[in-house]
Amino acid sequence: MHLDRLDLNLLVALDALLTEQSVTRAAGRLALSQPAMSGALTRLREHFEDELITRVGRSMVLTPFGASLAPRVRALLADISMVANARAAFDPDTADRQFILVASDYALSLMLPLVVPRIAAAAPNVTLHAEVRGPDHEERFARGMVDMVIVPQSMELPQHPTLPLFTDEYVCIAWKGNREIGDALTLEAYLRLGHAIRINRASATPMLDELGINELGYRRKVVLSVPSFELLPRAIAGTSLIASVQRRLAEQFASIYPITIHAHPVDIRPLQLSMQWPAFRDDDPGNRWLRELFVATANEELRPGGGVKSAAGAARR
């Protein structure tokens, strides 16, 4: 079948001819002149190498081949019409879709317990695949292989929409039995004690609290590094080590592990987390649904005191 010689207009003409079994009536149906419809019939006969409709006495009837084509052409045009009139839509109740989220283990530890129950309740067939940020996440993001990232504001990817999610402050955690710390963690004790830190070597990104400390001219004594925040409270248990973590994460840890939370003795800038998605997915209803769910969750669970307005505003480009 020579598709380069049979365009959509000829298929529409074919359907009209096979339905009306008359050049005149088919031309009237499509608001074409009779010569134009006759020309279309000639091209169709040449293409299919069949008369398609033929005169028998004073009437025109379909050839056997034309009769076999009629329902198939009608169904084909109906499918084409459905495709042509389709509009992107996302119904959480019935959607069967996978979303890929990339973030730090801190952001995932904080957000997943809050958003997963909401996703499960609103969209039971939706799958969320969460990944810790790695060295290739920017390339995968640009290629559309990632639906959303959660990053510190200082690491936002340029030329992609972004919305602020929430802000967190740094604190220090220590084992409850740590006798090196009194009621408050002093700067002297902070600089004297050994530190446990989290390093994600896969992402090749600097530790933001370390940058803040160094900017102020201080150097902490690192004696242990672990690959995830979740290991920090376990690692310092039974020792005099301390660790710097985000307050919300520290509060999670304190509900599980024998640790105390102390105000950070160094004035480090708060951590501001942003949500980003690929610019070419800005109008994707599914992506829009997902980011609205994340923003609503952050507003309700992580922004006490009226932070809704700043997150619900227009995305920065």
Judgement on whether residues 65 and 8 belong to the same structural domain of the protein: yes
Tally of domains within the chain: 3
Domain end, chosen from 231, 247, 263, is at: 263
Q: What is the pLDDT at residue 115?
A: 97
Judgement on whether residues 180 and 257 belong to the same structural domain of the protein: yes
- Say what angle helices 8-20 and 34-48 make with each other, to 10 degrees: 100
Mean pLDDT across 64-78: 87
The whole-angstrom separation of Cα 263 and Cα 255 is 17
Mean pLDDT across 250-275: 93
Q: What is the pLDDT at residue 280?
A: 87
Judgement on whether residues 104 and 249 belong to the same structural domain of the protein: no
The answer to whether 104 and 274 have CB atoms below 8 angstroms apart is no
Q: What is the pLDDT at residue 262?
A: 96
Mean pLDDT across 156-180: 93
Mean pLDDT across 89-94: 90
The whole-angstrom separation of Cα 261 and Cα 249 is 11
Judgement on whether residues 130 and 155 belong to the same structural domain of the protein: yes
Mean pLDDT across 37-41: 90
Q: What is the pLDDT at residue 5?
A: 63
The whole-angstrom separation of Cα 173 and Cα 263 is 9
Which range among 5-9, 49-53, 239-243, 279-283 shows the weakest confidence by mean pLDDT? 5-9
Find the helix or strand (DSSP H, E) in which 69 lies.
Answer: helix 64-85
Asked if residue 44 is part of any domain, the answer here is yes
Number of residues assigned to the chain: 317
Residue 235 above 90 pLDDT? yes
Judgement on whether residues 106 and 143 belong to the same structural domain of the protein: yes
Judgement on whether residues 10 and 125 belong to the same structural domain of the protein: no
Judgement on whether residues 159 and 177 belong to the same structural domain of the protein: no
Which range among 97-106, 149-158, 200-209 shows the weakest confidence by mean pLDDT? 200-209
Mean pLDDT across 92-109: 93
Judgement on whether residues 183 and 129 belong to the same structural domain of the protein: no
Judgement on whether residues 189 and 46 belong to the same structural domain of the protein: no
Residue 227 above 60 pLDDT? yes
Q: What is the pLDDT at residue 209?
A: 77
Residue 2 above 60 pLDDT? no
Domain end, chosen from 85, 108, 136, is at: 85
Judgement on whether residues 161 and 48 belong to the same structural domain of the protein: no
**Domain region containing 300:** 98-167+271-312
